Amino acid sequence: MKIKVSVPATSANIGSGFDALGLAVTLYNTVTFEESDHLDISAADGTRIPRGETNLVYRSAKGLFDKVGKTMPPLKLVQTNAIPMARGLGSSSACIIAGLLGANRMLGDVLNTQELLTLATSIEGHPDNVAPALLGGLASSVFEDGVVYSVKRDVDESLCFAAIVPDYKLLTEAARAALPKEVTHKDAVYNLSRAALIPAAFCEGRHDLLAIATEDKLHQPYRMPLMPGSKEVFDMARLCGAKAVYVSGAGSTVMAVAEKANAEKFYSKLEKGLELLEGLDGCEAFTLLRLDADNTGATVE
C-alpha cells in the first residue's frame, strides 16, 4: 500500500503573534510512504535531504510508532520539497506533520487530531507552525504542561499573499539567539493588543486592521538586521500596495498581504520592484511566490 501525504507551508508569528499564531499557504511538501525490505529515502525533485535515520520525516514517523508501542517496518520514503528550507515557511513542521500522518495512517489512524498536534509540538518545540500545517487556516495555539490548545479559523479568501524569499538562509537557532532575554511591559502590551486584532483582520474581512495588527516589537526589530535587504523589501511591498508586511516565521522570508481584487497589479509591481533591489546589501536575488491561504491543512491519500 502506498500512502501520500501533502502538507502546506506555514507562515508563523504574523508580526505580533510571536510563537502563538500561524497560517497555512498554498505551497506544499509531499511524501509517499511504502513498506520496503530496507530503509530507502529519496527526493523526487533532487533536493538534498538526509537519507538515513536522521531524516526528520522518518524520525517523526518512528516517534509515533514508538509512542504506541509498535515496531516500524523498513520504509521507502519519497519526498518532494517545494517549501524552501530555513526560510521561515515551516519546512521542518511540514516534515514532522508528514511523518506523523503517514505513520498514523499505516497504523490505522490510531491517534486523533489533538493527539497528533500534541506529538508534533513536542517534536517541534512550539505549535505556531505545526498547528496550521495540520489544521489549515489561521491557528492560535498555546503549549502548556504537555498539552496543545489550538483554535483554527478560515482565512478570508479575498486575501492573497506574496512570499518574498531571499537567496540566503536564516537558521532558527541564529534567529532565536538574536532575541533579548527580557522585554519591557510596554512592548509586551504593544504586541498583545495587536495580536488580538489578527483574527478579525485575516478572517473577518477587516482589512483596515491588517497593517496595525501585524506590527511587532518582540522579534522583528532584532531579526531584521540578520536579513540583508529586508527593510527595503518591507518598504517596497508597501509601495506596491501591500495591506500588511511581516517577517515570516524566524525569517529570512518576508510575507506581504494584499487583496485579490488587486492581485495582478500588486504582483507585477512587486516583481519589478524586487528586480531593483537585487544585489542590495548582500542579497543577490529574491524569489517571489504567489500564494493563497490554505484552509484545509495536511491531507492523506
Q: Is 90 assigned a ligand-binding role in the annotation?
A: yes
What is the pLDDT, as a whole number, of residue 282?
A: 67
Q: Is 8 assigned a ligand-binding role in the annotation?
A: no
Mean pLDDT of 110-132: 94
- pLDDT at residue 281 tops 80: no
Mean pLDDT of 248-255: 96
Q: Is 92 assigned a ligand-binding role in the annotation?
A: yes
Amino acid identity of 50? P
- pLDDT at residue 280 tops 80: no
Q: Which fold has domain 157-290?
A: Alpha-Beta Plaits (3.30.70)
State the pLDDT confidence band at 284, using cuts at 50, 70 and 90: confident
Delimiting residues of CATH 3.30.70.890 domain(s) in the chain = 157-290
What is the pLDDT, as a whole number, of residue 1?
A: 82
Q: Is 87 assigned a ligand-binding role in the annotation?
A: yes
Q: Is 93 assigned a ligand-binding role in the annotation?
A: yes
Q: Is 12 assigned a ligand-binding role in the annotation?
A: no
User: What is the number of residues in the chain?
Assistant: 301
Q: What SS3 class is residue 151?
A: strand
Delimiting residues of CATH 3.30.230.10 domain(s) in the chain = 1-152
State the pLDDT confidence band at 105, using cuts at 50, 70 and 90: very high
Q: Is 11 assigned a ligand-binding role in the annotation?
A: no
State the pLDDT confidence band at 76, using cuts at 50, 70 and 90: very high
Mean pLDDT of 85-91: 94
State the pLDDT confidence band at 59, using cuts at 50, 70 and 90: very high
Main-chain phi, psi angles of 245, to 5 degrees: -140, 135
- pLDDT at residue 144 tops 90: no
Q: Is 150 assigned a ligand-binding role in the annotation?
A: no
288, 293, 296, 298 alpha-carbon torsion, rounded to 10°: 30
What's the mean pLDDT when you consider all of the chain? Answer: 95
State the pLDDT confidence band at 79, using cuts at 50, 70 and 90: very high
Q: Which fold has domain 1-152?
A: Ribosomal Protein S5; domain 2 (3.30.230)
Mean pLDDT of 140-150: 89
Q: Does the pTM exceed 0.85?
A: yes
- pLDDT at residue 22 tops 90: yes
Spatial CA neighbour of 253 closest among 230, 269, 270, 222: 230
The radius of gyration of the chain's CA atoms, rounded to the nearest angstrom, is: 19
For the segment 188-236, what is each residue's pLDDT rounded down to a tens digit? Answer: 999 999 999 999 999 999 999 999 999 999 999 999 999 999 999 999 9
Query: What single DSSP character describes residue 283?
Result: B
Percent of the chain with pLDDT over 70: 99
Mean pLDDT of 153-179: 94
Spatial CA neighbour of 280 closest among 250, 219, 235, 222: 235
Report how far residue 213's alpha carbon sits from residue 237's, in angstroms, rounded to the nearest whole number: 17
Q: Is 200 assigned a ligand-binding role in the annotation?
A: no
